[in-house]
Structure 1
Amino acid sequence: MKNGIFKYSLLAGAMAFSGLVMANPSATLAVKGQVSTGTCTAAVLPTANIDLGNISADSLPPTGSLEALGKTNYLRITCTSPLKYQVSLTDNRADSAIPAAETSQGAAFEGRVLGLGKTSDNVNIGGYYISLQNITTKFGGTDYQDMLSRSAASGASWTKAPAGVAITPLNNKAGSTDRAYVAMAASGSLEPEASATAEFRFMTSAYISSALRDITDQQTIDGNVTFNVDYL
């Protein structure tokens, strides 16, 4: 009898103690996200590929290079809101650029020539340069903006650039930084302007090296460049 009473008393005490510490249930909801500035997208039009066609080795001069026909392209930039930015180039074939002295531009043009790849015998095929012709904030429009250029990504002063200014690739073999960055500005201003839309019109002029006069099989021209858009 005593043992039975003791057991029941212990159980009742445990139930009473459990009721004292019981907590109400709860749940947590986290609210997260990001607030960011506007963004831009860029596309090369009308095509991202420039075809120089089939160039006969017999047409190459004994020395120097043969100038191929220039091609026009547009870098179209579209932003979610008006933004300021600058454009620069990275040559993805920089180790294959021929010396500027071998082009019609001459040695003073050194640093602005981009590479066209190498032959199967590791010979530099040629070079090309990209020049900025004009900038408009209306697609297909003619409201041309002033063009600016400078030598560094930040800190350097902007200067007005003439039509046809050749852009120096950031990773050129000569180590030049002259006119490596370009931007647009309102007429008479030296401060880049913000815009939600813009078209940068470029001309590409190529040179095929005379070193390819002696090739014995077909070689593929392989230039490749990246347009960089940096927010300001």
Structure 2
Amino acid sequence: ERSKTCSACKDVIKETIPATGHDYGEWNETESATCTKDGEKERSCSTCGKVEKETILAHGHSYGEWEITTEAKCTEAGEKQRSCSECGKIETKTIEPLGHNYVNNECIRCHHVRAQSTEGVVFAYDSEFDGYYVKEYTGTASSVVIGASYDDGVHGEKSVTKIGEGAFIGNTEITTVVLPNTIRKILSHAFYDCAGLVDINIDFIPSEDIAADAFVGTMYE
């Protein structure tokens, strides 16, 4: 505020002087931001000394390209890593197993030979799991192997996921059944009255996915 006085009447006139506003200098970084932690900068007014502060946001990691440290195999997962060029943090990811790539029933990568279904095992398409189920067995062998996959020429090659309802019902000749680990359900009466059945690998299938009457009349009921 400023004032002036009339020399004739002595009246005093007052005027407001507008604030000049702060005259800030350049920003100075007082704490550097890191990949995960905010930093800070400040500047001061050359007139009154007021200090203004601002946050410098963490800039996040600056990762390079992924590098494979362990190659994935048909049945084993691999691993890849990348590192931050700023702080050195290493990020690791799992590479899913490749799965077998069969040509003429032999994997071209690891040479695993795929188990073939015993002659007489009949498959049908399974829409629930988009695979195939064992519909029936018309063969005569007492030891039955069920392959892990099938191709009906329409739906393509897919996993065998179920033993169908009544698939082996009343077959007293079979003694051994080898199931692939792709089986997810065994339906009603699948092995009903298969009195000669003494060996079947079902430990990997949850009990709730095996029908209560699937093995009635066998040693597994």
Q: Could you say which TM-score interval applies, normalised by the shorter chain? A: under 0.3
**Structure whose alpha-carbon radius of gyration is higher:** 2
Question: Whose RCO is larger (CA < 8 A, sep 6+)?
Answer: 1
Bigger proportion of residues as helix = 1
